[in-house]
Amino acid sequence: MAIPDEGPDEGAELIDARGLKCPMPVILLGRRIAKTAAGGRVALVADDPASRLDIPVWCARNGHFLQAEGPWPDDPAARLFTIVAFTAGPSQATRHGLP
């Protein structure tokens, strides 16, 4: 998994979930990714410490690929997650050679 060095990837839709507590960052991610085409990217920035555990587990359980996680510029409490959307669950991610 890559570590982003500055803000979200170009072309990724950004969800700003700073200030929201569990489970809201995951709920917002689920709603957005449901509207994202397979292979599309969604970036989520969250400052809830539970997000560091919740987002990777949610991605694995729902067949999406956590491409990157790292610090959010100018906010040391926030983390940036970049997720690649898949529409067919975990087996689809495995077929593409992704964990």
**Bridge partners, residue 4, by sequence:** none
pLDDT score of 10: 73
Q: Burial of 18 by CB count in 10 Å (0-12 exposed, 13-18 middle, 19+ buried)?
A: middle
pTM here?
A: 0.79
Would you name the residues annotated as active-site residues?
22
Per-residue pLDDT of the chain (99 residues; tens, 9 = 90+): 554 545 566 779 999 999 999 999 999 999 999 999 999 999 999 999 999 999 999 999 999 999 999 999 989 999 999 999 996 544 444 444 554
Instruction: Give residue 56's pLDDT.
Output: 97
CATH number of 13-95: 3.30.110.40
pLDDT of the residue at 87: 61
Distance CA 49, CA 47 (A): 6
